[in-house]
A and B are shown apart, each in its own frame.
Chain A
Amino acid sequence: MSEEKKREKILDVKDLDITFKTTAGDVHAIRGVNIDLFQGETVAIVGESGSGKSVTMRAAMGILAKNAVVNSGQIIYRYRDNKGGIDYNPDNDETAQWKEADILKMDKKWIRKHINGRRIAMVFQDPMTSLDPTMTIGKQIMEGMLWHYKIDKKDAFKRSVELLKEVGIEDAEKRMKQYPHQLSGGMRQRVVIAIALSCNPDLLICDEPTTALDVNIQAKILELIKKVQKERDIAVIYITHDLGVVAKVADYVNVMYAGKIVEVGNINEIFYDPRHPYTWGLLSAMPDLGTDDDRLYTIPGSPPNLLHEKEGDAFAPRNAYALEIDDKLEPPMFKITETHSAATWLLDERAPKVEMPPELKARIERMKKEAEANVS
């Protein structure tokens, strides 16, 4: 990315609010989510299981479950028309015009044709189950290209072999004819990435792409995603609960709790200057090899059941720093810098001055020093 190039916003999630109708009652899973994403950049959405990370992204892809009801909000996707088939790159076309579409308002057919696979592609959590067990790898990669671009089979085969090589699979031609069970977990995830890249998307959504893999492979897969992102200048959204992954890949971080974004900032702001007590908890809960302390911190309690909404801040019951107002009124987003905001009453001017826990402060100091040492 060159410096003078204008940052183009490609995804703008505004006040998204989603309820799931279940037999037990309505689950208010997404309660006003805002996310911005610019071309070529990486945003991480961090949160515990059930905080609504995946649901938000499925909404952006228009593949929400049938029992989901969108109460309000917009998901504005900005794109340029494809005027030249599978190899067309609008960045090289001066006449390409930016267009906007609210994905929540478009019909399923339009989304399938213009968005799914073609402009937004997804990498799923568990490569052991996300490939069709009865279809060859090759067919699964070619499927999208043949469907979206109607290219001929030979061409699709050649492109798929190229893609497999690009994602680091050896013997690509042999692999094309194999079935998923003949590949290891790491290789399968590479195949899933190849499938995602097959139609040259602008945006890659990675839903916990390394959670199901062992640590060695994790790092390799993250590097691979970084590499293709750089080469293809695509935007990536990571959905994860692993701050270690976030630190390695993200430009911006959204911390999500109980269906809301509670803190957003760039990577330095979140890691070095966190403001929300939940973010403090998440950072403190990261395993740390740099101390003599053997204990691993956990945030007390468990995420709320969104079947029963409570008044005020959803995090208050687990928050050691909760104020009285937290039980009555939900905190708004307080702006700290142009890019950094957090939803906690602690940032209100009337609130008592509360500092992050000293252990965390010491740890952040250590992280900063390590980072500086790595740079020099």
Chain B
Amino acid sequence: MKKYVLKRVVTAIFTLLAITLILFILMQLMPGSPFNDEKLNESQKAALYAKYGLDKPIVIQFFHYVINMFKGDLGVSYKISKNTPITQLIASRLPISIGVGFAAVMIGAVVGLLLGLLAAFKRDTVWDTLATIISVIGVSVPSYVFALALSYQFGFKLGWFPMLFSAKDVVGSSVLPSVSLSMFTMASIARFTRAEMIEVLGSDYMLLAESKGLSGNKLVFSHALRNALIPIITVLAPLVVDLMTGSLVVEKIFSIPGVGSLLVNAIQSNDYNVVIALSFIYSAMYIGIMLVVDILYGIIDPRIRVAKEGD
């Protein structure tokens, strides 16, 4: 198991390096530059390029960046907030994004799970149909549409929650963005849970457990849930990533001062360093979550745990 984790961590580091390189190349390919200001003449621009080291070959830039990164320096912003270190820029914004995102994952996972279980246990009834309709809507409607709809209904018309994010009421003003972000996660998990649960309920080992005379609750809790939920852990990771991309737009709609809206601004204004740093953080979070899920899966599922102990 230790060997396995170590192998995975090393692979993850190389993956991140590759991602950083690709980000560098993509940034170069983007049209425009951070200093597209009509007031600047050519020599001033060249001076700015030289100042930030953008005149050097991309490989050199890349190595500089990576070395600095290991020192904990992600460079400075060129445009959005001139010469502010990006670490500082992110430090204040990341917790807000993570807070909203985490709430969304929690809401999505819990509600999705309950909805999926309800649909599976009440299979082919009105409840099942209702759950299916909710999940189809959740999967097919993008989160920003929910964001607009929710903010109109519950923010503007009913006035239950603030329409915009405010630092004074973090919890209250996080409700609508979290709920809109959670819809896709909720719907996907509901569908997946239903399918898994129905498969487990129809399995031979459930019949054997039933033939032992166990009560319905005991059957569900000691046999069905564990077997149905293990595969669900694997879909949670990609869902978290979908949620991150969803947060880009949703943060903008609710004007949440998080990393999502920062990234959108950075892309619009060609602020290379900010784009690279944030994309890097998103990638690192994704790889980190995948790694955690894989390890978790190994701990929970004996079939994988034992196989890994074998090597």
Contact = CB atoms under 8 A, between A and B. Distances in A.
A207 to B, nearest CB: 10
A129 B206 CA distance: 10
7 contacts: A63-B210, A118-B213, A130-B207, A144-B214, A147-B214, A179-B303, A195-B208
Contact of A116 (B204, B210, B222, B303): B210
Contacts of B215: 112
B212 A179 contact: no
B203 A129 contact: yes
A115 B213 CA distance: 7
Contacts of A136: 302
B196 to A, nearest CB: 13
A307 B196 CA distance: 30
Interface residues of B, number: 22
A131 interface: yes
Interface string B221-249: 01100110010000000000000000000
B301 interface: yes
A131 B218 CA distance: 16
A116 B208 contact: no
Contacts of B226: 134-135
Interface in A88-118: 111-113, 115-118
Contacts of A182: 306
A139 B215 CA distance: 16
A181 B213 contact: no
A44 interface: no
A358 to B, nearest CB: 43
Interface in A285-311: none
Nearest to B208: A130
A124 B214 CA distance: 17
B85 to A, nearest CB: 49
A147 B205 contact: no
A117 B215 CA distance: 12
A61 B208 CA distance: 11
A121 interface: yes
B83 interface: no
A132 interface: yes
A148 B218 CA distance: 13
A143 interface: yes
Contacts of A199: 212
A126 interface: yes
A301 B303 CA distance: 44
B211 A131 contact: no
A125 to B, nearest CB: 8
Interface in B253-311: 301-303, 306
B150 interface: no
B208 A122 contact: yes
A133 B208 contact: no
A82 to B, nearest CB: 13
A130 B306 CA distance: 20
A164 to B, nearest CB: 17
Q: Which of B211, B218, B227, B306 has the most CB of A within 10 A?
A: B211
A97 to B, nearest CB: 23
Nearest to A196: B211
A135 to B, nearest CB: 7
Interface string A142-154: 0110011000000
Given A134-B226, A147-B218, A181-B303, A124 B207 contact: yes
Q: Which 3 A-B pairs have the closest CB atoms?
A: A116-B213, A117-B212, A117-B213
B96 interface: no
Contacts of B210: 63, 116
Contacts of B212: 116-117, 121, 143-144, 147, 195, 199
A192 interface: yes
A124 B303 contact: no
Contacts of B16: none
Contact of A134 (B204, B209, B211, B302): B302
Interface string B84-116: 000000000000000000000000000000000
A61 B205 CA distance: 16
Nearest to A116: B213
B36 to A, nearest CB: 59
Nearest to B213: A116
B211 A129 contact: no
B124 to A, nearest CB: 9
A234 B248 CA distance: 68
Contacts of B211: 61, 63, 116-117, 121-122
A134 B213 contact: no
A133 B226 CA distance: 10
A4 to B, nearest CB: 34
B295 to A, nearest CB: 17
B307 to A, nearest CB: 9
B223 A135 contact: yes
B91 to A, nearest CB: 42
Contacts of A61: 211
A122 B213 CA distance: 11
A148 B215 CA distance: 11
Nearest to A139: B222
Given A113-B213, A117-B213, A148-B213, A135 B222 contact: yes
A329 B303 CA distance: 56
A328 B210 CA distance: 42
A143 B212 CA distance: 8
